Structure 1
């Protein structure tokens, strides 16, 4: 049962503030006034919770089914935005969405989508090549439409459509950096920064040289 079918009187939790009781591989128990809430979260969010007894405040997405109420927690609003967006992709459930966010922080996921880097997404548990391709393909239009592009490097690097990134010196520079051993999403982010600083007409060799400098920082 989804949100449209919430039982009458069902609590829709949007935020929890309390202390860490325990942390497991895919969830934590947050003690709020003596009540322990099981909150599922990405590995990156769980890693930020701290030791038992640490104060914590998490944004919550509440999912209700006929047989269970599940809470999903996020340290930042942008991670929750990505989680919700990923759930709109066929084949991506809550577990898979958290798996993707465990290996790719929001800014890294934005770069992977902009660069159409399915290999980066496929690093997540439960994500095969076909699903990874579907994620980067379908998310390319959703990212800018729901404001997720601001997750990129201080909001300065645009989430470009593949047609924008696939032609001309930018694509050649990205390919050159990939051939040097960098991940496609990293290479795309570096080249995009260079183009923003120096303009869209920068020469290919300059893109590569300055791209390497960005990657070395």
Structure 2
């Protein structure tokens, strides 16, 4: 089973790319956001891979980060959501935005994705609210796709530290994530962990 591919971008199309790995061209389906972030043709890239095997075909799906891949898996566990719809959601929302939307119950944000109506958005929130934090912890760190290496600390570190601190205080992951999401929106992108923790606690006390 293929878990990750490193190669050279050969060709990029609307919903997939051809990745040249030592002379072998792999057709990999990706979200629009991942495709838009790819380097130019001829440059190296690393993608996490999800392999779907059926009787009549083998299809590869590529992701810029493990968080995006985990969301792809989680979304398909929701009734009525297949691979195509999951990619549509990830094309509309970054993993961090999707994590926040699920944690806060923001149906309107999720319903912006093509093929997702109010009912589907509600199902996604209801079925993934308790599962989302497992993927969310890593979803704030944007992937450096061209090198295949995650970004540094920055705001993602502050958010992760704040979530960790709140869970250490006894709050559930879903509660902590939702509170920090609200705190981050209020304090801004440059907020430090201490500020996010303070505002998060304030939110949890409501």
Smaller-chain TM-score bracket: 0.7 to 0.9
The residue number in structure 2 matching 1:197 is 198
Q: Distance in 1 between matches of 2:56 and 2:113?
A: 27
TM-score when normalising by structure 1 = 0.70
Q: Contact between 1:115 and 1:188, CA under 8 Å: does it hold in 2?
A: no
Give the one of 153, 160, 163 matched to 2:174.
160
Q: Distance in 2 between matches of 1:198 and 1:105?
A: 24
**Is 2:102 the partner of 1:81?**
no
Q: Distance in 2 between matches of 1:31 and 1:199?
A: 46
Q: Contact between 1:81 and 1:148, CA under 8 Å: does it hold in 2?
A: no
Matches within 5 A, 1:201-212: 201=202
Find the residue that maps to 1:141 and give its secondary structure: coil
Q: Distance in 2 between matches of 1:68 and 1:84?
A: 19
The residue number in structure 2 matching 1:51 is 40
Q: Distance in 1 between matches of 2:85 and 2:67?
A: 17
RMSD over equivalenced CA pairs, Å: 2.9
Matches within 5 A, 1:109-120: 109-120=98-109
Matches within 5 A, 1:12-91: 12-91=1-80
Find the residue that maps to 1:124 and give its secondary structure: coil
**Is 2:140 the partner of 1:140?**
no
Superposition deviation, residue 56 in structure 1: 1.1
Q: Distance in 1 between matches of 2:196 and 2:47?
A: 37
Give the one of 75, 85, 96 matched to 2:85.
96
Change (3 A) 1:77 1:199: closer
Q: Contact between 2:162 and 2:196, CA under 8 Å: does it hold in 1?
A: no
Q: Contact between 1:111 and 1:189, CA under 8 Å: does it hold in 2?
A: no
TM-score when normalising by structure 2 = 0.73
Q: Distance in 2 between matches of 1:15 and 1:55?
A: 13
Give the one of 68, 87, 95 matched to 1:106.
95
Q: Where does the alignment leave 5 or more consecutive residues of structure 1 unmatched?
A: 1-11, 171-185, 208-217
User: Which protein has greater RCO, CA pairs closer than 8 Å, 6+ apart?
Assistant: 2
Change (3 A) 1:199 1:120: closer
Q: Contact between 1:114 and 1:160, CA under 8 Å: does it hold in 2?
A: yes
Larger radius of gyration: 1
